[in-house]
Structure 1
């Protein structure tokens, strides 16, 4: 099973951040050739057929890494996830839901862009069931049910076009949106130099040099977006900010953006 160096490095970073059931789930997903093939094909359709940016193995792992970082910052700040608050799971169960959702959220791009989140749910369910049946005991049925439902909610809501209500799903939404560094738009930019409708998205994404997720000064999470040109503000204001605005995690986030070596603008 071939994997790019970038994908392998991301998997290594993710595995180092996990333990227990989330670690088991990640290992199973990373070693699944069927999932690898499906994610690769999603990227072929997204980039070559539709002209979008990366929606494949690297993107889904980058979104996962971002979501895990934010989960840990909330956990360190004593913020309980919904499964724990509702008495149906522990922190590791919530993290398992976030992991499953993030790693599977764009499978539907292998079929179409329109309603791809709904298609992703259909394609993701067999993987979710397989993993939960492997790492959870039959008597943990309520926890398994809650994890599956929450993972599906995260996939359902990752486009910020549907209302979501759990912190777990909110992390998936923002983790996905945080993957907007220039590398994500590199391949479609190389494949086509002809002007086309929607190029502002590709141009603005190319201006984003770095997205840092770190501990905030006033809130648990700070996200800093660094760009090399002001066109990058389009990506922040028209694509990323609406995702944060629609996320239940919004109250715990500070958002900063700016051109490198200039003053940062604070949004939240």
Structure 2
């Protein structure tokens, strides 16, 4: 064998489509919520839903967008549940409790379901993907929930999750706590390494996303939740204000969240050391 040849054992065989889809397994802390646990088990066993996530991820790569794979789905689901539990602990009442007489655990199912389905429409197209997500959800989610909820509760869970899904679009106007949580959770998937910078145009979107170092979701002092964002560059303010701020303002969540972005960088003049929403 010549020195230029590669041993067959050293050549990595690419994963098949089936293997890549099967690798998508969502993990969330159910914390004793058996309905949520059963939904996650059903989702992880559903090859069609996981194939939609895969197709959405491929379309995002084609468009050189930020990650829309199952990893994004898991992050948004976990952030949504984290926000919900901090809010509920401080007395914020979920809309399904106030309006339907359900429980906080049912609210967690609504939030998780919406997060799990919020961008499956990306498997079809980026434009109007939120609406595409709705009709895919309408077919799949009731089947996943059938062993978990009886009617009419199952229909209410699907309706509330669908409201949260459509509310995450750019001009979405959630009027439920759960919808606002999913909208904000989607925007909070911005930590370092989560954004794919535009390879062709070094614009404000790509530059600002690269400036976000970390995102922490903590119990608040004056408000229920405190979001702390560390930035390496002042350009990150655009991501916080135009990205997260746009998703938060005007929602039922706005009065319950405090957002503080800090710039801790010695290499630049600190024009705005602390930015607050």
TM-score normalised by the shorter chain: which range applies? Answer: 0.7 to 0.9
Matches within 5 A, 1:185-204: 185=195, 188-189=196-197, 193-195=199-201, 199-204=203-208
Q: Quick check: which one's helix share is greater?
A: 1
Q: What's the offset of the Cα at 1:194?
A: 2.9
For the residue of structure 1 that corresponds to 2:208, the secondary structure is helix
1:39–1:56: 8 Å Cα contact kept in structure 2? Answer: yes
Equivalent residue for 2:124, pick from 108, 111, 118 = 111
Aligned pair in 2 of structure 1 residues 217, 3: CA closer, same or farther (>3 Å)?
A: farther
Aligned pair in 2 of structure 1 residues 90, 16: CA closer, same or farther (>3 Å)?
A: closer
Q: Does 2:257 correspond to 1:253?
A: yes
Q: Which has the higher contact order (CA 8 A, sep 6+)?
A: 1
Matches within 5 A, 1:167-178: 167-178=177-188
Aligned pair in 2 of structure 1 residues 67, 234: CA closer, same or farther (>3 Å)?
A: same
Q: What's the offset of the Cα at 1:255?
A: 0.6
Which structure 1 residue ranges, 4+ long, deviate > 3 Å from structure 2? 1-4, 15-18, 261-264
1:254–1:266: 8 Å Cα contact kept in structure 2? Answer: no
Matches within 5 A, 1:1-268: 2=19, 11-12=26-27, 14-17=28-31, 19-48=33-62, 50-137=63-150, 141-185=151-195, 188-189=196-197, 193-195=199-201, 199-260=203-264, 265-268=274-277
Q: What's the offset of the Cα at 1:124?
A: 1.7
Q: What's the offset of the Cα at 1:16?
A: 5.0
Quote the RMSD (CA, aligned, Å). Answer: 2.2
**TM-score (normalizing by structure 1):** 0.87
Task: Work out the CA distance in 2 between the residues paired with 1:130 and 1:54.
Answer: 28
- Which consecutive unaligned segments of at least 5 residues does structure 1 have? none
**TM-score (normalizing by structure 2):** 0.85
Residues 226-260 of structure 1 show CA distances to partners (whole Å, capped at 9, x for unaligned) of: 11111111101111101010321111101100113
Residues 88-113 of structure 1 show CA distances to partners (whole Å, capped at 9, x for unaligned) of: 41111111110000011011111111
Task: Work out the CA distance in 1 between the residues paired with 2:186 and 2:83.
Answer: 12
1:56–1:106: 8 Å Cα contact kept in structure 2? Answer: no
Equivalences, count: 254
- Which consecutive unaligned segments of at least 5 residues does structure 2 have? 1-17
Residues 123-177 of structure 1 show CA distances to partners (whole Å, capped at 9, x for unaligned) of: 122221112212113xxx2322221111001110102412221001010000001
Task: Work out the CA distance in 2 between the residues paired with 1:238 and 1:38.
Answer: 29
2:24–2:44: 8 Å Cα contact kept in structure 1? Answer: no
Structure 1 residue aligned with 2:12: none
2:237–2:275: 8 Å Cα contact kept in structure 1? Answer: no
